[in-house]
Amino acid sequence: MTAPLIEAQSLRMEYRVGRGQVLRALDGVSLAVRPGEVLGLVGESGCGKSTLGRCLLRLARPTAGRVVFDGTDITALSERTLRPLRQGMQMVFQDSYASLNPRRRIGDLIAEPLRVHRDGQGRRRTAADIAARLAELMALVGLPQAALARYPHEFSGGQRQRINIARALALSPRLVVADEPVSALDVSIQAQIVNLFMDLRDRLGLTYVFVAHDLAVVRQISTRVAVMYLGAIVELGDADTVLHRPAHPYTAALIAAVPEPVVLPDGDRAPPLRGDVPSPIAPPPGCRFHTRCPIAQDRCRTDPPALRDPGDGRQVACHFPLAGG
């Protein structure tokens, strides 16, 4: 098997949140993404998806654990040493407007990374190089060349997301971490952008970590899926295996809760999961899901389950994985 492009090893991320309390946003997360894979990251609000994404790109520095990018341990690198590596890893965010300076033209916004970073031969890019690359990028993301001379507010949400993608791709990264990149878009536009992400992966051989709370979107784009709950991965495996035959009760509950655009007889609806996600400042002991798990046993309240392979290549953190798995 090929070596991973990005790897997290036992990542921990703690935030001090006053009164001596510690919020553990990531509690021992390990995963590896190989070149060309799309790892979908799902889970409810606050489970640590964005924190993990930021740690993988070293936009945040984990409290403990290691991040390895393309064979280099980047956990403790200074910003200066990181700089050349940064070109290879980029991020796309949910809020397409907040990430674009409203007073600058699209052409300037996308050219910025091209001006800051040197090219493959260590040379500064000329104005002609930059213009050529801008033209290429606009074609790549499906925007007219005329868009380069306009301002962010002149575009719709979907078009702004194309602009953000163009900017992220300017330096030809190998890894893109996309944090809820289609969540703010209407479905008809969301489909366009999901298709764009898939085309770009095929054409440019990109590797994605794709964060989304929408399981259907994640299934559409991902080759593998990691399900997170309260700062930990509870299930990790092939997208089809995990989403068609979930082994963790939380994965199963998440799937059951998705409202599908199909009208079912009233009785065919699974009862919803009880309660809310507990506070990450004081996560439950034992299995962190036991307060909401419909099949929790005594053992689950004290004994934390480790991630292990139930025999089909995926990983599940549950003492009693579902038979579907």
Partner 1 sequence: MDADATPLLAVRDLTIALPVGGRMVNIIDSVSFTLGAREILGIVGESGSGKSMTALALMGLIDAPGARITGSARFKGRELVGLPQRAFRTLRGREIAMIFQDPMTAFTPVYTVGWQIDEQIRAHGRVTRKDARARTIRLLGDMGVPDPARVADRYPHQLSGGLRQRAMIAMALSCNPSLLIADEPTTALDVTVQAQILDLLRRLRREYGSSVLLITHDMGVVAETCDRTMVLYSGTIAERGPTGAVFARPGHPYTAALLDSIPPLHGARPARLPSIPGSPPAPADRPAGCPFTPRCAYAHDACAVRPPLLPRGVQDIACVLPAEGRDLPARCVTV
Ligand X SMILES: Nc1ncnc2c1ncn2[C@@H]1O[C@H](COP(=O)(O)OP(=O)(O)OP(=O)(O)O)[C@@H](O)[C@H]1O
> Under the rule (CB under 8 A), what is the footprint of partner 1?
44-45, 156-159, 186-192, 194-195, 198, 213, 215-217, 219-220, 243-244, 253-264, 269, 272-277
* Element spanning 109, H or E: helix 106-116
241 interacts with Mg ion by CB under 5 A: no
Taking the C-alpha atoms of residue 98 and residue 78, their distance in angstroms, rounded to an integer, is 27
CA 317 from centroid of its chain's CA atoms: 20
**In Å, how far are 30, 56, 57, 178 from 68, measured between CA atoms?**
11, 8, 10, 18
99 interacts with ligand X by CB under 6 A: no
Handedness of CA 37, 324, 246, 26 (dihedral sign): negative
The three-state secondary structure class of 21 is coil
The three-state secondary structure class of 38 is strand
Kindly identify the residues of this chain, within the stretch 50-89, that bind Mg ion according to CB under 5 A: 50
Q: Which is nearer to partner 1, 207 or 220 (CB)?
A: 220
Taking the C-alpha atoms of residue 256 and residue 259, their distance in angstroms, rounded to an integer, is 8
201 binds, among Mg ion, ligand X, ligand SF4, none (CB under 5 to 8 A by kind): none
The string over 5-20, giving b where at least 16 C-beta atoms fall within 10 Å of a residue's C-beta and e elsewhere, is bbbbbebbbeeeeeee
129 binds, among ligand SF4, partner 1, ligand X, none (CB under 5 to 8 A by kind): none
251 interacts with Mg ion by CB under 5 A: no
Kindly identify the residues of this chain, within the stretch 225-284, that bind ligand X according to CB under 6 A: 280
Give the footprint of ligand SF4 on this chain (CB under 6 A).
249, 287, 289-290, 293, 295-296, 300, 305, 318-320
Residue 48 CB-half CA count within 13 A: 28
Q: How far is the CB of 261 from ligand SF4 (least distance, A)?
A: 19
107 interacts with ligand X by CB under 6 A: no
153 binds, among partner 1, ligand X, Mg ion, none (CB under 5 to 8 A by kind): none
**Number of residues counted as binding ligand X (CB under 6 A):** 14
Going by C-beta distance under 8 Å and a sequence separation of 6 or more, which residues neighbour residue 126? none
Q: Measuring CA to CA, which residue among 226, 242, 225, 234 is closest to residue 300? A: 234
Q: How far is the CB of 183 from ligand SF4 (least distance, A)?
A: 27
**In Å, how far are 42, 53, 81, 276 from 255, measured between CA atoms?**
11, 23, 42, 16
Kindly identify the residues of this chain, within the stretch 35-54, that bind ligand X according to CB under 6 A: 43, 45-51
318 binds, among partner 1, Mg ion, ligand SF4, none (CB under 5 to 8 A by kind): ligand SF4
Q: How far is the CB of 146 from partner 1 (least distance, A)?
A: 16
Positions that interact with ligand X (CB under 6 A): 15, 17, 23, 25, 43, 45-51, 213, 280
